[in-house]
Amino acid sequence: MRLTDDWGVYGITVNCLAPGWFQTAQTAAMYENREWVEYLRDRIPLKRPGTPADLDGAVVFLASESSGYITGRTLLVDGGISTGATRAAAGRRSED
pLDDT, tens only, 1-53: 599 999 999 999 999 999 999 988 999 999 999 999 999 999 999 999 999 99
Q: Binning pLDDT at 50, 70 and 90, where does residue 85 land?
A: low
Q: What percent of the chain has pLDDT over 90?
A: 81
pLDDT at 87: 59
Cα dihedral 23/83/59/31 (nearest 10): 0
CATH code: domain 3-83 is 3.40.50.720
Q: What CA–CA distance (Å, rounded) separates 22 from 48?
A: 9
This prediction's pTM: 0.77
